[in-house]
Amino acid sequence: MRLHRSLAALLWILSTAVTAHADGPGAHRPPSPSATPPTISELGAIDAYNQGYAAIQRGDHSFALAEASSDAKEKAEARRAANAAYKESLGHFEEAVHLDASMHEAYTYLGYANRKLGDYTRSLAAYQQALKIYPDYPYAIEYQGQALLGLNRLDQARFNYLRLYALNKGQAAKLLQAMRSWVAANKNTTIDGVDVSGFSEWVARRSEATRDDVPSSSW
């Protein structure tokens, strides 16, 4: 698919700027030479994982393009590209956990990609599996918190934040930023069974109390 000239220009601009991509575990590297040599299956899982991570990066880049573009056609084209990349990543991560069922990083990105595609049921199931393997894994806790926000399950998202704050203040700051974004998007909205005002006040208090914590980024 050939990009429109203005979209290509926007792609270049975004590629030179600080983008809001997933900042999860990143690429997976084989164990150090001093560690027990990985099995063929483990090496295959690492390779599949890294292919999935590359697809996630492409998806996030296209998603950023869609968010930044003011042209409806370009926005739709970028969203299609993002969805295609996220869907591609699912196959790689599924292969990774098939080859190495202990790879919590792959389960975490399965959750991330499914959330980006709007499938919150599969997303939460993947995060749950990641946390079953590694209960205190900060990336899975933070990503899960974002999925809970997307479902307006605010009390559970708040629990994830407080748990994360005790484990990793940097990742907690990122979830708090997502909460601020949720408040901004819903401040004038009435949602059945959801105390938007109360949550907004809580987020404001947390933002004030933690303003000197590690700077956050939204993704």
Inside any domain, residue 71: yes
Instruction: Please say whether the beta carbons of 27 and 53 come within 8 A.
Output: yes
The range of the structural domain enclosing residue 87 comes to: 1-12+23-29+38-122
Among left, alpha and beta (phi > 0; psi -120 to 50; other), residue 37 is beta
Inside any domain, residue 198: yes
Q: What's the token pair of residue 42?
A: 């483990």
Domain identity same for 144 and 51: no
Instruction: Please say whether the beta carbons of 204 and 211 come within 8 A.
Output: no
pLDDT in tens, 88-117: 999 999 999 999 999 999 999 999 999 999
Instruction: Please say whether the beta carbons of 19 and 67 come within 8 A.
Output: no
Inside any domain, residue 83: yes
pTM score, two decimals? 0.82
The amino acid present at 46, given as its one-letter code, is I
29 versus 196: the higher-pLDDT residue is 196
Instruction: Please say whether the beta carbons of 73 and 89 come within 8 A.
Output: no
Domain count across the chain: 2
Count of alpha carbons within 13 angstroms of residue 181, beta-carbon side: 13
pLDDT in tens, 22-43: 556 666 655 555 567 778 888 8
pLDDT in tens, 140-192: 999 999 999 999 999 999 999 999 999 999 999 999 999 999 999 998 889 99
181 versus 14: the higher-pLDDT residue is 181
Domain identity same for 1 and 70: yes
Domain identity same for 117 and 144: no
